[in-house]
Amino acid sequence: MTSLPRARHWLVGAAAIALIAGCSSEPEALPPPDRSAVPSHIDAVASDPAVAPAEPTAIELRSPAGETYLSSPLNPEKLMRVGQRLNPVNELPVWWGESGLPGTDTKETVLVAGHNYSRRVAPFRALRVVQPGDAVLLRTPNGVLRYTVERTTPLPKGSLLSQNELRDHVPGRLILANCDVVDGEPTDNNYLVIAQLDRPAN
């Protein structure tokens, strides 16, 4: 089978987010996600001056005031496609192995995906309360990267297959994705958080 260039390869798989498993209908509806403070496990508050590309190991979401409302390790096994299905093996968010490796000089978009459930808690249920201006911190073995959220959006499942600016690779861009749940019920959307790397001051 002909291999795709790395910069385009992940996009084929990213379109398969439409089939990410985990939008279940189990008993006992959950309360809606909120921005309640949780303990932080990442010390740095700004991007290190130079971070060589490496697989991320942890993620945090913070308000503009610096309050952490999501802090989670990442699954150590990178996410790869199985057929046309993206299926993280557990509730931990996971780096999509065919996207860019996070680093200060990475030229490709980085993608982190996670499960979301209608009636079971998973870290990425918090994506629904992310706001523009929030910070996303990714910890890697080489340092910490800080991104600022530019926008959030539901996206119909499978729509990344069509012409969409999210198909373009943008240096420093980070996309977080889950299976969208609204009012306790799964939808026909994925939910995306689009963030951009903060460039350290010279």
Question: Tens digit of pLDDT for each residue in 55-67?
Answer: 999 999 999 999 9
**Residue 136: which domain range?**
6-26+38-197
- Scanning the chain, the segments in alpha helix (DSSP H) are 6-15
Which residues, other chains included, contact 145 with Cβ-Cβ below 8 Å and sequence gap of 6+? Answer: 47, 48, 51, 102, 103, 104, 137, 138, 197
pTM, two decimal places = 0.83
According to the model, what pLDDT value does residue 48 have? 61
Within a domain: 202: no
According to the model, what pLDDT value does residue 90 have? 78
According to the model, what pLDDT value does residue 146 have? 94
Q: How far is CA 70 from the centre of its chain?
A: 12
d(Cα 7, Cα 30) in Å, to the nearest integer?
Answer: 38
CATH number of the domain within which 180 lies: 2.40.260.10
Q: Would you tell me how many other CB atoms lie within 10 Å of the CB of residue 18?
A: 20
d(Cα 26, Cα 140) in Å, to the nearest integer?
Answer: 35
Which residues, other chains included, contact 85 with Cβ-Cβ below 8 Å and sequence gap of 6+? Answer: 16, 19, 20, 21
Within a domain: 106: yes
d(Cα 147, Cα 199) in Å, to the nearest integer?
Answer: 9
Ramachandran bin of 133, using left for φ above 0, alpha for ψ from -120 to 50, beta for the remaining angles: left
Collapsed DSSP state (helix, strand, coil) of residue 81: coil
End-to-end CA distance of the chain: 45
Phi/psi at 62 (nearest 5 deg)? Answer: -135, 150
According to the model, what pLDDT value does residue 95 have? 93
According to the model, what pLDDT value does residue 115 have? 80
Within a domain: 156: yes
Within a domain: 22: yes
The segments of the chain whose pLDDT lies below 50 read 1-19, 21, 25, 84, 161, 201-202
Within a domain: 100: yes
Tally of structural domains, the chain: 1
Within a domain: 178: yes
According to the model, what pLDDT value does residue 169 have? 83
Phi/psi at 159 (nearest 5 deg)? Answer: -75, -15
Within a domain: 136: yes
Collapsed DSSP state (helix, strand, coil) of residue 127: helix
Q: Which of 127, 140, 134 is nearest to 192 (CA)?
A: 127
According to the model, what pLDDT value does residue 32 have? 86
Within a domain: 119: yes
